[in-house]
Amino acid sequence: MIRGGKGILFVVSAPSGAGKTTLLRRVVSRLPGVSLSISCTTRAPRPGEQEGVDYFFISRAEFIDMMREDRFIEWAQVHGDLYGTPRSNLERLQQGEDLILEIDTQGARKIREELKDGVLIFILPPSLEVLEERLRSRGGDSEEAIQARLQNAQKELDQMTWYDYIVVNREIEEATKELASIIIAERCRTARVLKA
């Protein structure tokens, strides 16, 4: 009768620099019962990033081995590096915990089309100017990488139409509340509460 069993799978995408990571950390620290999926990547860590907290930083060879062994639920190449969600991360859903995948629009599409699951949320920066400012202030990326990320941002923005929700990250506290509200509302859906 009451919501039990499976947790809810949330998929959150945003152009790099939209403030998605900060926002998600705030939501997860405030809301019990939801956690972030940690992806594997072949990209080098940025200053301050930690192994097993931000990503599992692995070599291309290790990534390809995992792909061959079918250990990713989805993977994609973004800005020349490989990123993937380990299949084992989804086990938390079986334990009734909600899970957030912080992945790009290619990965989101795979989850929607292949798993036929997921509540899809797009985080929008207030403007492309703010996005550029945030990308530059983050440090650790070359000018070439920043330009590639800005170009990719435009392509990512074209994809937001098929997401279920859009949160504009104008002000962090307001955006945190909006994102938390979406998670709470999804937990209250009749079909989820009244599970046969």
Among 106, 112, 126, 177, binds ligand 5GP (CB under 6 A): 106
Report the alpha-carbon distance of residue 69 to residue 193 in Å, rounded: 36
**Rule CB under 6 A: is residue 178 a binding residue for ligand 5GP?**
no
Q: How many residues interact with ligand 5GP (rule CB under 6 A)?
A: 14
Which residue lies nearer to ligand 5GP by CB, 130 or 187?
130
DSSP 70-136: T-EEEEEEETTEEEEEEGGGGHHHHTT-EEEEE--HHHHHHIIIII---EEEEEE-S-HHHHHHHHH
163 binds ligand 5GP (CB under 6 A): no
Q: How far is CA 99 from CA 9, 29, 59, 137, in A?
A: 5, 13, 26, 29
The nearer residue to ligand 5GP, 109 or 182, going by C-beta atoms, is 109
| 76 lies in the site for ligand 5GP, by CB under 6 A | yes
CB of 171 to ligand 5GP, least distance (A): 22
Residues lying near ligand 5GP in the complex (CB under 6 A) are found at: 16, 39, 43, 74, 76, 78, 83-85, 102-104, 106-107
